[in-house]
Structure 1
């Protein structure tokens, strides 16, 4: 069931990304029209651009949820595997077969090490997916690279002050804080 939800979340994220690209294509089509046609469609273009940004934001949030579901699925598999080892250890202890007990203990320790590695990996993944803003120098570097590839002068295309606010959203960070608090409360139960 969880893998089905994970698939649906990933599918929804892809759909949102496609919608964002579609909105950008419509905006480019408007830019190719004549000046009078561009004026007529200016309002629609602005709305489409905002909608494209909203789709990208939503796709990012859905992708973060998908990562959390993947983490839960992985944790469930490890927990189930460890439960099986514990049952086998109980059976071995009852028979007091030292070779079997030693083998099971080795397997249990290996499973525990695997769990530690997976937990560390999941923590790293979760911290990277829940980051609200990217480092400023990375954002600016990527924007400059894209502008260079497109043959554009970056400073001419972007209004002043845009570089300092890219990737920041007070609404998104407030929602993220609320979600983090709710998650902490659920973990305490």
Structure 2
């Protein structure tokens, strides 16, 4: 009976984690709108390089929001399966460590890491021969730091059109910024990899 109670507590933890992911998604949505407003102000001032940077930020925040929602949805699917299995008392003890792991990775805000932990959850169910369909992980691709140039120009034009601003965003001088932006992204990715390696070493 004690272990069943413990499992129900773990399921509650997962439900809280899912709600936390949804809160993160709402936060990203607010930040996306804030960056969009900065695009408008920059275009009004004729600062096209600045507008481009804000547009990149806005798109990145939109992608983050979708990733948090996707992860929350995956977690809800796992919780529903766990609920069913708990009632049938068919869940092994190995879930506890993964619950802790997911809560730890949530604290870091690292979407890639959270997705990997979700993969572990889903593998546990496969190991227990629970036939369930889970969403495929698309985190690795969608958390990329680089933003497609066409998306950036498209968002800038969309903002300009929304506010009736007369501007053409396909400006050639923006090319110089694109190169420096990609170099910065490379540094960001290297820094992320280094921190991940440190985390693994500590763990």
Normalised TM-score (structure 2): 0.41
Higher normalized helix content (fraction of residues): 1
**Which structure would you say has the larger RCO, counting Cα contacts within 8 Å and 6 or more residues apart?**
2
Larger radius of gyration: 1
TM-score, reference length from structure 1? 0.44
